[in-house]
Copies of this chain bind each other. A is one copy, B any other.
Amino acid sequence: MMTVRLGISGIGQQGGAYAGFISEGKVKNMVIGAICDIDPEKKAMCAEKYPDVPFFDNYIDMLESGKVDAVVTTVPHYLHPEMGIEALKRDIHALVEKPAGVYTKQVKELNVFAATKPDVTFGIFFNQRTNPLYQKLKELIDSDEIGKIRRTNWIITTWWRPQGYYDSSAWRATWEGEGGGVLVNQAPHQIDLLQWICGMPKKVYSNVKYGYQRNIAVEDEVTTLLDYGNGATGVFITATHDVLGTDRLEILGDKGKIIVDDSKKITIKRLNTPESEMSASMSMQDVMKIFMGGDVSDVYSEEVLEFESVWGAQHIAVLENFAANIVDGTPLIAPGSDGIHGVALANAIHLSSWLGKEVELPIDEELYLAELNKKIEEEKSLVNQ
């Protein structure tokens, strides 16, 4: 059985964690092939910690070294598409970090190129897709357990970050360095899960607060109304200033409701009769009977599923799944081409707030890029003042 030699491009917090998992033998069929970073301090650190692993200060050299079969792009978001393309070009399997990129135009280039390399594995690091809770949730929705979706509502404000986090690097929380705030750095997981499980909305209206509770240029709070185009609506809320963060996802369907609390508990309420049939057949007197002390078990049954989440297990699962796809063709949980959906949604949320109006998906990607570049220019002129 083949062992995948992974090149880790960027050995910061994420890259360092992955190196740890792999070197501790926690990832089946995977070893560290090489490490690459532009920071000399990282080179010194790796020389001590991973003395037997080849180190490069240029990722192209690493890709061409013959030391790696695959690469993971733990580098700033803007670089993910470029590195993905350069790897695939050399038939090196690519696992891009989330988000797939900052703007859809660059992610589309990556996807188009990847499509020309169907035999090279192309994955994206959506580790939360490996969370058994969200796999179960997707299964419940896909198998029509609560019927056609009418509403989604996710408050995900467990992404608390103090000012010190933003001040830790000059590129953090800047338009030029990250291309956004909570939408591109913390919430891409939930944005992906929401579209993966409930589908992409057709229209988006957002109220986005830039530098609201933090001294940053980018967004630290997002409130978005989603319109799925088929009558269904949704709300997506995220923020980095709620230290007592809420994580509550509610999905209402014609045949029931699912509530996910803290990404740990799924409560499924299944109606005995679809709501539309209840509406058609019941009188207000019947309704009063049920709700004024009647027996609600006549109406629905409830099931509660609890999940344990172990930190790191999801990341290991993504690496293993990626290796398995290379080794024996096991289907990818998060194919790389899926990365564009979350970027498209995040871009739409930004653009709606910039234009002050509802936007339709897919958005005008040239307009988005022009607006983003304006932000970058404004930011530069502020820094240079």
Contact = CB atoms under 8 A, between A and B. Distances in A.
Contacts of A281: 162
Contact of A287 (B155, B162, B233, B257): B162
A248 B239 CA distance: 19
A153 B284 contact: no
Contact of A213 (B150, B160, B225, B243): B150
Interface string A321-359: 000000000000000000000000000000000001110
A206 B358 CA distance: 11
B155 A250 contact: yes
Given A233-B221, A244-B271, A358-B356, A214 B151 contact: no
Given A155-B153, A279-B241, A233 B209 contact: yes
How often does this chain occur in the complex, in copies?
A: 2
A276 interface: yes
Given A221-B233, A233-B221, A279-B162, A256 B284 contact: no
Given A153-B155, A356-B358, A282 B235 contact: no
A284 B165 contact: yes
A140 B225 CA distance: 29
A233 B223 contact: yes
A275 B241 contact: yes
26 contacts: A150-B213, A153-B237, A155-B250, A160-B287, A161-B284, A162-B281, A162-B286, A165-B283, A165-B284, A205-B207, A213-B279, A214-B279, A221-B233, A223-B225, A225-B225, A235-B235, A235-B237, A241-B279, A242-B252, A242-B257, A243-B278, A244-B252, A244-B256, A244-B271, A246-B257, A292-B311
Given A162-B278, A164-B282, 14 more contacts: A150-B241, A153-B155, A153-B237, A163-B280, A165-B287, A207-B227, A212-B231, A223-B233, A223-B235, A243-B271, A244-B256, A244-B257, A244-B300, A248-B248
Interface of A: 150-151, 153, 155, 157, 160-165, 168, 205, 207, 209, 212-214, 221, 223, 225, 227, 231, 233, 235, 237, 239, 241-244, 246, 248, 250, 252, 256-257, 259, 269, 271, 275-276, 278-284, 286-287, 291-292, 299-300, 311, 356-358
